[in-house]
């Protein structure tokens, strides 16, 4: 059973008198009356990160992936709460000093404050992070409109190649290894567009589980279908060079997740505004497709080919 089936069958009915839960169909809780926005995420060793050999990088990755849930809603995170579980090796004096230093750096970088949490002992290293911010409005999922353009910020695929390097499945030179593993551990969140997202986005989500998987979540109740052109999906020069030299397929890298960029949909009338705004913010954004109510299926177009979106749904939360 996947995550959405689990929610639909067992938990959605518990939120019927709680509109702030957004039918458990978004990544955040939004109390409109009190202007409070909250997200919660759990990260398990061996599932969401390979191991805890680099505690400084792991803690930064999970903090950024957590606050990304708020940024993609047009909300600036203010506070984080961390629940941590592990053993004596995970939380040795050395590691605790490293973790503390890394959290301090992340607080300074993103203007967030550690505000509470919990600790317990376990065999695996596990973190649960709650992020909190304030806003009068948010950009929700499933508010897409027929004919909306589909945009993504930044580049896709670098993080997935970084993960393959860390797993020992790909071996490149030292400079390339460092570039891709850094992209895996330290996603570059598009924070500078956050406060303006409400001015042009009808709907949005961050890319955690994969471009097409998260795009499907974005439109899952909208009765719309996407058409995305593979050659328009932005990738770095480094990844492009790797794909050429290795003769690997682009689709197998841009659809895997851990990018923590933002997918958003916007009416065509906003194209000029988006172009000017993103140029001013010095933030890369790419128009990769559109939504339509007239299509019969989601489509990934690669020249004259039509790729099956079911084969490119990215990471699945199965139970």
- Is the pLDDT at 6 greater than 80? The verdict is no
The pLDDT of residue 139: 97
Q: Over the stretch 48-66, which tens digit does the pLDDT of each residue have?
A: 999 999 999 999 999 999 9
Q: Tell me the average pLDDT of the chain.
A: 93
Average pLDDT over residues 216-234: 92
CATH topology of domain 149-310: Phosphoribosyl-aminoimidazole Synthetase; Chain A, domain 2 (3.90.650)
- HEC string of the chain equals CEHHHHHHHHHHHHHCCCHHHHHHCCCCEEECCCCEEEEEEEEEECCCECCCCCHHHHHHHHHHHHHHHHHCCCCCEEEEEEEEEECCCCCCHHHHHHHHHHHHHHHHHHCCEEEEEEEEECCCCEEEEEEEEECCCCCCCCCCCCCCEEEEECCCCHHHHHHHHHCCCCCCCHHHHHHHHHHHHCCCCCHHHHHHHHHCCCEEEECCCCHHHHHHHHCCCCCCEEEEEHHHCCCCHHHHHHHHHHCCCCHHHHCCCCCCCEEEEECHHHHHHHHHHHHHHCCCEEEEEEEECCCCCCEEEECCEEECHHHHCCCCCEC
How far is residue 24's CA from residue 28's CA, in Å, rounded to a whole number? 8
Question: What global pTM score does this model have?
Answer: 0.93
The pLDDT of residue 306: 78
- Is the pLDDT at 138 greater than 80? The verdict is yes
Between 3.40.50.2020, 1.10.10.10, 3.30.1340.10, 3.30.1330.10, what CATH number should domain 3-134 receive? 3.30.1330.10
Domain boundary assignment for the chain: 3-134, 149-310
- Is the pLDDT at 32 greater than 80? The verdict is yes
Confidence of residue 310 (pLDDT cuts 50, 70, 90): low
Q: Over the stretch 257-303, which tens digit does the pLDDT of each residue have?
A: 899 999 999 999 999 999 999 999 999 999 999 999 988 889 999 88
Confidence of residue 316 (pLDDT cuts 50, 70, 90): low
């Amino acid at each position: 059973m996947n995550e959405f089936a689990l929610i639909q069958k067992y938990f959605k009915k518990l939120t019927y008198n709680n509109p702030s839960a957004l039918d458990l169909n978004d990544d955040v809780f939004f109390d409109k009356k009190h202007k409070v926005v909250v997200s919660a995420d759990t990260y398990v060793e061996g599932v969401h990160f390979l191991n805890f050999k680099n505690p400084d990088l792991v803690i930064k990755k999970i903090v950024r992936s957590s606050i990304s849930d708020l940024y993609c809603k047009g909300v600036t995170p203010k506070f984080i709460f961390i629940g941590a579980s592990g053993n004596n090796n995970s939380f040795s004096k050395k590691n605790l000093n490293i973790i503390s230093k890394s959290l301090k750096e992340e607080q300074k970088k993103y203007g967030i404050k550690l505000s509470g949490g919990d600790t317990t002992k376990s065999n695996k290293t596990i973190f649960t992070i709650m992020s909190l911010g304030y806003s009068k409005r948010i950009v929700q999922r499933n508010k897409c409109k027929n004919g909306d353009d589909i945009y993504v910020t930044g580049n896709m695929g670098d993080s997935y190649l970084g993960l393959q390097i860390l797993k020992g499945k790909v071996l490149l030179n030292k400079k390339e290894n460092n570039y891709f593993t850094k992209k895996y551990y330290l996603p570059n969140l598009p924070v500078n567009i956050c406060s303006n997202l409400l001015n042009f986005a009808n709907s949005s989500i961050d890319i955690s589980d994969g471009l097409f998987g998260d795009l499907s979540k974005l439109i899952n109740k909208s009765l719309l279908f996407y058409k995305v052109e593979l050659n328009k999906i932005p990738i770095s020069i480094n990844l492009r060079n790797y794909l050429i030299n290795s003769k690997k397929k682009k689709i197998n890298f841009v659809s895997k997740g851990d990018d923590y960029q933002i997918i958003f949909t916007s009416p065509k009338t906003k194209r000029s505004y988006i172009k000017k705004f993103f140029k001013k913010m010095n933030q890369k954004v790419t128009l990769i497709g559109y939504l339509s109510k007239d299509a019969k299926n989601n489509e990934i177009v690669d020249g004259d080919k039509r790729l099956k979106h079911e084969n490119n749904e990215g990471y699945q939360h199965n139970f």
